[in-house]
Structure 1
Amino acid sequence: MGTPAFAVEPLKALLEAGVQVVAVVTVPDKPAGRGLKLHTSAVKDYALAQGLLVLQPAQLSNPTFTEQLIQLQAEIGVVVAFRKLPRAVLELPWLGLFNLHASLLPQYRGAAPINWALINGERETGVTTFLLSEQIDAGQVLLQERIPLPLAMTAGELHDSLAQLGSRLVVETVRGLADRTLLAKPQPECEMLKPAPKIFRADCRIDWGKSAFAIHNLIRGLSPSPGAWCHMQRGEKGAEDVKLFTTQPLANTGKSPLPAGTASPTELRDELCVACGNGTELLVKEIQPAGKKRMGVDAFLRGLGTEVPIRFS
């Protein structure tokens, strides 16, 4: 059971490992774009290409859907980036129904664990398989795998790394459940849990009063999508929205004399140096002005024609 591209890799890994996948469950097709053409999920596209049975229930609690699952007689259920399941479905696979989550549970329960781990500047993260329960992301842990988080890693890069790591863990979990060698353990108790809620536009706005490292973490944690944004003022022109992507915090630069958000080209004119909170500075290397494509700062500066003051807010 899954929907986005993150769920395709585990499905592919199961097939390559020789696991018999009796059916794939995903969301119904939805109209999208100007022409409102029906948009299919990444999981559906891959499953159909492999000749697999695809189920797309509008309501997971529909008795007809439950009866379809009963007839499939699946021994194990695998869930990756899908919706909350009703109790009637949770109890069906007799060897277990488990979920792959892109964090080291119990930390970062929620819809956006990849983004929030980077935004919060974590040094490591990972993937967890756990038995599903009625409480979101709180079931007993089966397996976990950790990876370090380099300072420059983006959400897109981490997504791809965890998809590959998670795929291997899903296959290992299925094998462990099938031969009954896998022991489920309660999630450890933590005094302070870090949540991973769905990300909204307000969460993506850059606060230039924060330190360069905090801003850098926000930008990479939202890159390439949905993208961190702010207002940009160029000379006497009105403010426009821009998104920032590749950045680098400057360490040991001393106190910046400029107000937070003030930007100036570097000597090479292929980067913008932006003053941040606490006297820190941030190099901006990629930018996307409103209505334009993502571009290097060198191309952006050439497009300005004349050198004008730039202020982010």
Structure 2
Amino acid sequence: MKKALRIIYMGTPDFAVAPLELLIKEGWNIVAIITALDKPQGRGRKPKSSPVKLLAEMHRIPVLQPPNLKNEQFLETLKSFRADLQVVVAFRMLPEVVWSMPPLGTFNLHASLLPDYRGAAPINWVLINGENKTGVTTFFLQQEIDTGNVLFQEEESILPEDNAGSLHDKLMQKGAKLVLKTVEAIALDTVNPKRQDPSKSLHHAPKIYRETCEINWKQPAYEIHNLIRGLSPYPTAWCKIGSKTCKIFDSEVLQKESDLNPGEYATDNQTYLHFQTGKGMVAVRELQLEGKKRMRIADFLRGNPLTKRDGNSGGTA
């Protein structure tokens, strides 16, 4: 095994930590880390390092944080590490001058079964679309995003109780093992890259914006439930209750109808809050009203009684 292979690792968030940890644990030679700039956070707006940077510093691995990936000084520094291979996990789009630099190429870990769900938010969109299967893919980078030749794939079942948070964690662990498998195969020259089939009917996984997260109560209950789980715990589906924004983290589809209009709710102000949708009802199980903390529904109703029209039906969201 060629563990003397010189590897540069690129990544920023938590999803990129597990693969890096595993490569380090298995003794691979990570010569440098490239990650995002420190971001000001909190009331004091103090710069905060990315999870990948914190891990790199723990293992005393050099860290590069270029604001511009085409900067000549950065490119010269990158060349000076004489990397044989670059590994990318949850990082920004790379210019060709960067991904084409190492002789063994640059591969990326993507949290879907490519070519399906290309884009920035595959974990969210497979849940929003109600899929029961997804996975992880490693592939060599090329010019168009998420289109390079596939190296390895592993499937992962999506359970009814999964949300974006739980699926993220499962794919992070499965992805870490796939990154290790890919590095080992490249080192042994046993990879057999396969072209992605563009003829398949594909879903897209574009970046999530605040508008994407707004609940449309005219949609069927199962679609709203999938939106909620696909955005939980972050960035979170939301609606308005009265004049205040309400984030919804957990829900359940109820196989019943009411005489309410979509967006109106029924509540006993003790144990339940049920919203009428375009078809069926959604029971809210965990939420956060603007200015309040995140709570289970019974705890929320105990301290935040909602206005009601009568004893059986409720107000309007």
Q: TM-score, normalised by structure 1?
A: 0.93
- Contact 1:273–1:282 (CA<8 Å) still a contact in 2? yes
Question: Is residue 210 from structure 1 mapped to residue 187 from structure 2 by the alignment?
Answer: no
Aligned to 1:173: 182
- Does structure 1 residue 225 correspond to structure 2 residue 239? no
- The 8 Å contact of residues 308 and 315 in structure 2, kept in 1 or not, is answered as no
Q: What is the aligned counterpart of 1:250 among 237, 245, 254? A: 254
Q: Within 5 Å, which residues of 2 pair with 1:117-196? A: 117-196=126-205
Which is further off, 30-39 or 120-129?
Answer: 30-39
CA distances 1:159-216 after superposition (whole Å, capped 9, x unpaired): 1111000000000000011101111000122343211111111100001111110000
Give identity over the alignment, percent: 47
Structure 1 residues 130 and 295: alpha-carbon distance in aligned structure 2, compared to 1, 3 A threshold: same
Secondary structure (helix, strand or coil) at the match of 1:311 reads coil
* Alignment TM-score, normalising by the size of structure 2: 0.91
Write the distance in 2 (CA, Å) between the matches of 1:118 and 1:306: 30
| Pair 1:155–1:30, CA change in 2 (3 A) | same
Aligned to 1:81: 90
Segment of structure 1 superposing worse, 67-76 or 131-140: 67-76
Give, as a single letter, the amino acid of the residue that structure 2 aligns with 1:260. P
Inter-partner Cα distance in structure 2 for 1:24 and 1:111 = 21
Residue 241 in structure 1 maps to residue 250 in structure 2: no
1:70-121: per-residue Cα shift (whole Å, max 9, x none)? 2212111100111111211111221221000111111111111111111111
Q: Kindly provide the amino acid, as one letter, of the partner of residue 22 in structure 2.
A: A
Distance, in Å, in 2 between the alignment partners of 1:144 and 1:294 is 37
Summarize the alignment of residues 1-12 of structure 1 with structure 2, pairs less than 5 Å apart: 1-12=10-21
Note if 1:286 corresponds to 2:286.
Answer: yes
Q: Is 1:263 aligned to 2:269, yes or no?
A: no
Aligned equivalents of 2:61, 2:200: Cα separation in 1:
44
Letter in 1 for 2:263: G
Q: How far is the alpha carbon of 1:65 from its aligned partner? A: 1.7
**Match in the other structure for 1:53:** 62
Counterpart position of 1:273: 274
Q: How does 1:91-102 map to 2 (within 5 A)?
A: 91-102=100-111
Structure 1: which amino acid aligns with 2:290? A
Aligned to 1:67, which of 48, 73, 76? 76
Tell me the equivalent position of 2:301: 301
Q: How much has 1:312 moved relative to structure 2?
A: 4.7
Cα separation, partners in 2 of 1:83 and 1:243, compared to 1, 3 Å? same
1:18-33 → structure 2 map (5 Å cutoff): 18-33=27-42
- Cα contact 2:163–2:231 (8 A) shared by 1: yes
- 1:102 to 1:180, Cα distance in 2 relative to 1, 3 A: same
- SS at 2:165 equivalent: helix
Distance 1:72 1:224 in 2: 39
- For the aligned residue pairs, the C-alpha RMSD in angstroms reads 1.6
Contact 1:270–1:285 (CA under 8 A) maintained in structure 2: no
Separation of aligned partners in 1, 2:316 and 2:190: 56
Q: Does 1:37 align with 2:41?
A: no
For residues 274 and 251 of structure 2, the distance between their equivalents in structure 1, rounded to whole angstroms, comes to 10
Distance in 2 between the 1:162 and 1:312 partners?
Answer: 38
Gaps of 5+ in 2: 1-9
- 1:311 match: 315
Check conservation: 1:142, 1:184, Cα contact below 8 A: yes
User: Partners of 1:115 and 1:82 in 2: how far apart?
Assistant: 17
Runs of 4+ in 1 over 4 A off after TM superposition: none
Provide the rounded CA distance (Å) in 2 between the counterparts of 1:211 and 1:184: 41
Structure 1 portions without partners, runs of 5+: 234-238
Give the partner amino acid of 1:74: A
Q: Secondary structure at the match of 1:277?
A: coil
Give the Cα separation in 1 of the matches to 2:32 and 2:307. 60
Kindly provide the amino acid, as one letter, of the partner of residue 265 in structure 2: A
